[in-house]
Structures are given as structure tokens and as C-alpha cells.
Chain A
Amino acid sequence: MMPAALKGSAIKPKLEWPTVAVSVKSVNMVYDGVHAVRSASFDLETGKFLTILGPSGSGKTTLLRLIAGFQRPTSGEIFINGAAVSAVPPHKRSIGMVFQKLALFPHMTAAENVAFPLKMRRSDARAIPARVERYLDMVRLGGYGTRRVHELSGGQQQRVAIARALVFEPDLLLLDEPLAALDRKLREEMQLEFRRIQRELGVTTINVTHDQREALVVSDEIIVMDGGQIQQKARPSETYRTPSNAFVANFIGVTNFLDAPDGERRAIRAEKIRIAPTRNGLVGADTIVEGIVADAIFEGERVVYEVRVASLGDTLLRVFDHDPSAHSQLEPGSAVYLGWTAGDVLEFKP
């Protein structure tokens, strides 16, 4: 559908058919008897930022290493820009990769690290210095070229790794949880940095992480993996609002399951439950239950309650109260009412 602003106007949107940059077709990976990736298939459009999200052992890193070419799939095929690559070694693929531990070369300066792929790909030696400087500028490290890797801070090392992975203008950028080791503030800063650079260059990117917040913040699309299988591939808002199954709902966001784990499952997000000391405070709710506050955790911008609900089999429901000023904070032990609207209930087939 055309954006509203263009409807009826003379300006036609530029027709640019999406081309597929990466295509994974029923890829399986078995090693040492472990089925690490099970019949994984997906397409990724050129220029998109995809995040593969999953807990450790979900097969997300294996899938990334298969795309990078460090391992060959047991069966299935991977296409990059239309060409089958399973038989192509990593150094002949046009892929920039930022590794979990960055893998910067410690015996080289920042600039030498960035120049390395250009030298290995036999670029014109005279053009290399200017190009390296341009990419160091892009990651805001202009003037840091002569520093050795160990003279740089963690964040600066991240930036060198990004510049090194992008300087040869690869078809594809792979990020193997490079932010996992950073402290939270720096991690969030680098997430936005990744997003900025990716948009600036328009390079197709696949990011692997177990951090659901990072996936929601940086991605155009999210693939959720568990047990070697792709559970859902969707845009971030879609993944959050309409998770395709109970695993996805549980992995992204805080979700309360309202009934027994067998049979059709119903769930509600913690922020969709309203809490009030009286029934009158929940006008408009379709379902109202009674409960006892088991714990109240003050987190600054919100209060997280754990409420024991006898009518739901004595389960603990987690509730985010983003406006505790409406009533004073409810103390543990106090009787409360929880309410939600029918439209907010998520339903999953077993």
C-alpha cells in the first residue's frame, strides 16, 4: 500500500522491487549427533537489518557461521545474491563479520586492522590510506588510526571491528553478538551506532543476539529461534504484538500464562494488566480477578507487582504498573483487583 501522503499526488513512488540478498533453503546442521539447525528457511531482502534472536543453544550462532562459511551445512543450501555458496570458502565470500570477541589483530594498529581486508583483497595500495581514514571517520575514530588495539577502550575496539568489517564494502554484514560483553549503557549506545551505520551504508545485515531489547531496537526483522528451529520471522512490532507461539511470547517481553500448559494456551503481557485496590478502579476491563500482592518491586519508572491469583490455580501474575501515582504503592499482602480487556489476550494453538 502506498503511504498516505502520496495518495492522489502526481509523484509516484520510485518502484524498486525488493531483491533477495540472502536466501536460506531448508538448511540442516548436525554435528556430534546434535541437530543444531533444523530445516531453517528464510529470505532476507537487500539492505535490511535482520536479527536472529534466541537463547543459548538455540542454533542461532551455528546458522550465522553457516552463512559466514566457517561450517558447511549437512543439507540444504544458502544463496547470497542468488549464488549458492556452500562450496565457497569464507575468504571468497563477500562478507564482513564482527566477532563476539571482536578478533582484532593485536599486533596491528587500528588503521592496519582496517586496512587488512583491503590488502587481502588486493586493493590499490595508493587508495588504501584514504579509504581507511574515511571508514575510521565513519565510526567516529578519526585520528585514532595509529593506536594499537590494546590502547583503545572497549567501545573504540567495537568501532574498529565495525570499520574493518565494512571497509571492503561487503555484500553482507554479520554480527555475532559483539555487544554481549559490554556494560548496559555502552551496549545501548553501540546498538544505535550499529543502526546508524547500517542505515547510512544500506548494507544487508544479520545480527545474532540473545538480548530481546536489542533485537526490538535495531532490527527491520526478527527471527526467533529455539531448539534449532525458526519459531517466527516478523517485524519487531509484529513479533511483540502477535507472537506466533508460546515460546516467542515467553522469550520476548514478560508474559503471564493464564491456564494449563496443555491444550490451547492463553496469555497476557504484564503491561496489559491493570491493577487497582478496588473493583471501581478497573472500569472498562472485560475480565477482573482478585488477588493478593506477593511482592512489589520499585523500578523507578514503573512498579512490578507479583500477584497471587487463587481463581487461576494460585498462579503468580506479573503486572507492570506504569502510573503508580494514581494510587499509592500497594504493599505486599494487600488484596487487589487485576483487570484486562479481551483484545489483549494472546491465544496459541498447542
Chain B
Amino acid sequence: MRVSKSAYPLTWRIMDALEAFAAFVWPARFGRAIPWMMLAPALLLVGLLVLGLWQIGDVSLRTLDTSTFLMSEAYTLANYQRAFTESLFAVVAWRSLAGSLIVTVVTLTLAFPYAYVMVRTSSPTIRKLLLIALFLPFFIGQVVRAYGWLIILGNQGMVNEALGLVGIAPIRLLYNYWAVLFGLVQYMLPFAVLMLAPALTAIPEELEAAAGSLGADWARTFRHIVLPLARPGLVGAGLVVMTLSLTDFAMPAILGGGSQDFIANAIYDQFFRTSDQGLGSTLALLLVAAGSMLVGLVFTLFGAGTLAMGRARR
């Protein structure tokens, strides 16, 4: 009997050929090793990262000899002492931490309705438009986008020109804290929306209809049903936005104009301006520690299950 083409499509034949090839190269008795083999590249990369951390840890314990510009041979905690006592670093750390918190709250507040409309709208056109508006900024890098804001928000920028038309004197919009936070929120919004959308999709629309029929108006449906059920998405998105903002470099550098440094900028300065690798490494390690503690704190408060990790609760 002849098998018709549609009953055994070309893609299946290609898969057959690939499987036959795989069986030749990698006989079935090696099969048990395959999961480990697939893990290998990732393990290798993480291993390299750990090696790098070891190196940074080593350098962080040496001070820079300013006469010879060489690292000291002996180990010392002097860098850590400087990092914790010099007020400059306290200011930078506080600025980054407070900034990333504000950015997280604002971003989630703006991203939630965006994601909600995108998921719930019955019009495919609106959904497509929202998706395009979301992805367009992704194709423009962070640095280019920051420069874009320089053009728009500068003293002779579009915003100030528009204000001039209605008789308002130019306002200095750039090179301050709020400009950095604004840039960060704008940069983080797509990440937050993309992480919230699946979480909201997972909430059956019927639950909201049910809440309505049980007497809840939309505000109470939102508070009692949508918000609690969206919590995993909110925690995940918040975590990503928070860590990305905390460690951001480009926005503080460009929109802050050097006056609004975050931790990453301070590390950059130590490595490439003062060439103090020791202090730079110390700051880098402290940033890693702060970020890890933050993630750890969120996991203990909300459980790792919020990122759909571990087994689904039954």
C-alpha cells in the first residue's frame, strides 16, 4: 500500500533521518548520559563565572600602591573598610537602592494595566498595536535610547521647545535623579509587561465574571481576585526590574551626566578612571552580595514557587 504524502509529511522524514544519524553517532546505550551532556555548556559558563568571582574576591583583598600602581602582595580588608566608611559610597549605594525601589514600584504600576489590557482585550488589532509598541524599544539599544532622551529632554530639546511655545521658560530636565529614574522606568517597562502578561493569561477570565456575578464591582474584583492571583507574576517582574535597575550603568551615566552615579558607575570609575582594581572588585562583590540578599529575601517572603520554580502546588 502506498502511503500518501500528506499522511507522512516531509518534516517527519527529516526527523527520521536526523534520528538515524543521531543513533549512529550516539548509540542508545550512551542514552543515560544525554541529560548531563546537555547540562554541560551551562555548567561550564557558570563555572567560568565562579572562577571570575574568585579572582575578583582575591583582588578585592589587595590595596593599590599609588606610587607604583601595583596591587599589594599582602591581603588586607582596607578596601572593605573604605567601602563601608567613605560617605561617597554610602550615597551611591543609597541612591541605587532607593532608585531601584522607586523604579520597581512605578514600573509595575504602569506595566500592570498595560499587560492586563493586552491580555484581556477582545480586539486583535489593539493587542497587536500594544505588542508592537512594547517591542519597538527593544530594537533600540539602551544607550541609543538614552541619547534619544537627551535630544528630547535637553535644554533646546523638543519638550522645552514645546513649553516655549506656550510661554514657559526652559526647564532643566536632564542630569538629575528624576531623569535617571524616568529613563530606567521607560527601559524596564517592556520587561515588566512581558513578565506580567503570562501571569495574567493564567488567570481564567471566568473567575472575574464569577466575582462580578457574586457581587464584586471591578475594583473589588481587581483587589480580591486579579491582584492576589497575579502575585507570582508581580514578584517575578519586580525582581527582574529591581535587579536590573540596581545594577544599571547606562541610564545614570548618560541621563545623570556623572552627577547621579549608581553602584555600577562607581565600579566603572574604580576600574577605568582611578585604576583601583582592588576597590572596584570590593564594590562589585558588595553589589553581588546585596543583589543576592534581595533575591533571597523575596524568595523567603513569597516562596520560590512565585517564579514557577519547583513543583506546582497541588
Residues of chain A having any CB pair with chain B under 8 Å: 68-70, 89-91, 93, 95-97, 99-101, 103, 105-107, 116-117, 120-121, 150, 164-165, 168
Contact = CB atoms under 8 A, between A and B. Distances in A.
Contact of B216 (A91, A97, A165): A91
Identify which of B206, B210, B229 gathers the most chain A CB atoms within 10 Å of its CB: B210
25 contacts: A69-B213, A70-B213, A89-B212, A89-B217, A91-B211, A91-B214, A91-B215, A91-B217, A93-B213, A95-B213, A96-B213, A99-B206, A101-B206, A103-B207, A105-B211, A106-B229, A107-B228, A116-B211, A116-B224, A120-B211, A120-B215, A120-B224, A121-B215, A150-B313, A164-B214
Contacts of B217: 89, 91
Contacts of A101: 204, 206
Contacts of B225: 105
A96 to B, nearest CB: 7
Query: DSSP majority for the B interface?
Result: helix
Given A103-B207, A150-B313, 20 more contacts: A89-B212, A90-B209, A90-B212, A91-B215, A91-B217, A95-B213, A96-B213, A96-B214, A97-B210, A99-B206, A99-B210, A101-B206, A116-B211, A116-B214, A117-B214, A117-B215, A120-B214, A120-B220, A150-B314, A168-B214
B209 A70 contact: yes
A91 to B, nearest CB: 5
A91 B206 contact: no
A340 B181 CA distance: 87
What is the interface residue range for chain B against chain A?
10 to 19
Interface in B181-235: 204, 206-207, 209-217, 220, 224-225, 228-229
Given A68-B213, A120-B215, A103 B206 contact: yes
Contacts of B215: 91, 117, 120-121, 168
A103 B213 CA distance: 11
A67 to B, nearest CB: 11
> What 9 A-B pairs come out closest when comparing CB atoms?
A120-B215, A103-B210, A117-B214, A90-B212, A103-B206, A121-B215, A120-B216, A97-B213, A91-B212
A70 B210 CA distance: 10
Nearest to B229: A107
A117 B314 CA distance: 25
A95 B228 CA distance: 25
A245 to B, nearest CB: 34
Contacts of A70: 209, 212-213
Contacts of A106: 229
Contacts of A121: 215
Contacts of A97: 210, 213
B213 A90 contact: yes
